[in-house]
Amino acid sequence: MRLLPAAVTLFLAVGVAYYVYVPLPAGIREPWKLMMVDAVFRTAMQLTSLKHRLGLDPYFKCICESTEGLGSLVKGLLASESGGGVMPGVKVSDVTFAGVPVRVYEPPAGGEGHLRRGLMYFHGGGWAHGSAKMGGYDTNSRTMSDELNAVVVSVEYRLYPEVHFPAPYLDCLAAAKHFLSQEVLAKYAIDPERVAVSGDSAGGNLAAAVAQEISTDDTMSGKFSVQALIYPVLQALDFNTPSYLENENIPILYRTLMVHFWLQYLGVDLSLQPQFLANNHSSSQHFTPELRARLDWTVLLSPKHRKNYKQLIVEKGLERLAKEVPGLLDVRASPLLAEPEVLAKCPRAYILTCEYDVLRDDGLMYARRLQDAGVSVTNDHYQDGFHGCFSFIPWLEFDVGKRAFRAYVNWLQNNL
């Protein structure tokens, strides 16, 4: 009978190991930590999805409650370790900009007459998850406010399933225009010539789209001086780029999951995911050569990233989608599709990309297109980086994430 508990324990241990283990490339330096994080993320998403299917709670409410709770836990742990809050000199306020909820971080007051930097940040999460109040985002915002002497505004744009495109973009644009107004800049003592827009993943998508719109809006006197994009998602027409294929099974952003996020954002039937994975949604009958050239990775990527992959161009696909889902070709959803004339007006850029990320090529192509349009671009590429490494909560930090965040802050210090 003594063998039974041991057998049960062994069975459970094997089961947990099987659930947690994901084959990872040798270039990822802390593989088991990433596997554990991925297992937690997968479990949380599965439980939330189950709760939603059972009708126990609205999906977006589940996400908000879980992220706010996580943020509170993070702050509580950090306070217990340090004897106080994170960056105690930073003032934090939850207000609204043009009706959009935002969290404002103000650095310790400086001398009279000293203007500060301004930075507007859009969090990631596939337009369905995330919050400025989450531990990683909250901690990063406090750190940036303190170290950069910047007023950081983190935007709580609406999420799926409450809304689809273009609502999150419109929320971010409205908040950005409010932030750049002379009255608001003066209120927070911000130098109008030193205001940045930034974001990671889906937030990088929103930051790029907002930067394009404001740069070309002649009615606005206030403009962003720089844009800083962290592994941004920039197009929904080609899910067979080398990075999508090479990294399709790398945590925490799997290829199927990114396509799932796009379908949700654009309001497309989720059953069409296989069609999108096969690029049947972007057949050449609706995709002009001029438009295709704007994300032609056979030209825009270096040979080391093109490798031996072949471009997948479908001649005839889902004909109705171009009309039924106009967001597919909308530059507000896919900033990589912007015309060269639009890109030429954009502010100088910082683009962070990771080798083990399905979105790697989106960022690399955008950097190339901005450079071709005459925009100054700094591309920090992390050979050991993976999606999400930049914004994990403090006790789940990765060495590559620490290096990436430090380089990002240093760039802003020198360029903003």
Q: Over the stretch 123-145, which tens digit does the pLDDT of each residue have? A: 999 999 999 999 899 999 999 99
201 is catalytic: yes
Q: How confident is the model at residue 49 (pLDDT cuts 50, 70, 90)?
A: low
Q: Please enumerate in sequence order all residues whose Cβ is within 8 A of that of 206, keeping only pairs 6 or more positions apart, or say none.
A: 122, 157, 168, 169, 172, 199
Residue 155 in contact with residue 100, Cβ under 8 Å?
yes
- How many CA atoms, within 13 angstroms, populate the side-chain half-sphere of residue 54? 8
Q: What is the mean pLDDT of residues 226-238?
A: 97
Residue 194 in contact with residue 149, Cβ under 8 Å?
no
Q: How confident is the model at residue 73 (pLDDT cuts 50, 70, 90)?
A: very low
Q: Over the stretch 239-271, which tens digit does the pLDDT of each residue have? A: 999 999 999 999 999 999 999 999 999 999 999
pLDDT at 59 over 60: no
- 314's tokens: 């479908």
Residue 37: per-residue pLDDT: 85
Residue 246 in contact with residue 354, Cβ under 8 Å?
no
pLDDT at 77 over 50: no
More confident residue, 280 or 315: 280
Residue 67: per-residue pLDDT: 40
pLDDT at 68 over 50: no
Q: Over the stretch 328-349, which tens digit does the pLDDT of each residue have? A: 999 999 999 999 999 999 999 9
More confident residue, 34 or 193: 193
Q: How confident is the model at residue 80 (pLDDT cuts 50, 70, 90)?
A: very low
Of all residues in the chain, the percent with pLDDT exceeding 90 is 69
Domain limits, the chain: 27-415
pTM of the model: 0.90
Find residue 196's DSSP bridge partners: 119, 226
384 is catalytic: no
Residue 64: per-residue pLDDT: 43
Residue 317: per-residue pLDDT: 75
Q: What is the mean pLDDT of residues 105-124?
A: 86
Residue 88: per-residue pLDDT: 73
Q: For domain 27-415, which CATH number applies: 3.10.20.90, 3.40.50.1820, 3.40.5.10, 3.40.50.720?
A: 3.40.50.1820
HEC readout, the chain? CCHHHHHHHHHHHHHHHHHHCCCCCCCCCCHHHHHHHHHHHHHHHHHHHHHHHCCCCCHHHHHHHHHHHHHHHHHHHHHHHHCCCCCCCCEEEEEEECCEEEEEEECCCCCCCCCEEEEEEECCCCCCCCCCCCHHHHHHHHHHHHHHCEEEEEECCCCCCCCCCCHHHHHHHHHHHHHCCHHHHHHCCEEEEEEEEEEECHHHHHHHHHHHHHHCCCCCCCCCCEEEEECCCCCCCCCCCHHHHHCCCCCCCCHHHHHHHHHHHHCCCHHHHHHHHCCHHHCCCCCCHHHHHCCCHHHHCCHHHHCCCCCCCCCCCCCCHHHHCHHHHCCCCCHHHCCHHHHCCCCEEEEEEEEECCCHHHHHHHHHHHHHCCCCEEEEEEEEEECCCCCCCHHHCCHHHHHHHHHHHHHHHHHC
Q: Over the stretch 157-184, which tens digit does the pLDDT of each residue have? A: 999 999 999 999 999 999 999 999 999 9
Residue 270 in contact with residue 328, Cβ under 8 Å?
no
**Cα 273 to Cα 265: distance, rounded to the nearest angstrom:** 13
More confident residue, 147 or 1: 147
Q: Can you say whether the dihedral through the CA atoms of 385, 387, 390, 394 is positive or negative?
A: negative
Catalytic option among 201, 215, 225, 243: 201
357 is catalytic: yes
Catalytic option among 123, 129, 286, 387: 387
Q: Over the stretch 285-333, which tens digit does the pLDDT of each residue have? A: 778 889 999 999 999 999 999 999 999 988 877 777 877 888 999 999 9
More confident residue, 367 or 46: 367
Residue 83: per-residue pLDDT: 32
Query: Which range has highest mean pLDDT (23-37, 347-361, 392-406)?
Result: 347-361
21-45 in b/e form (b: 16+ CB < 10 A) is ebebeeebebbeebbebbbebbeee
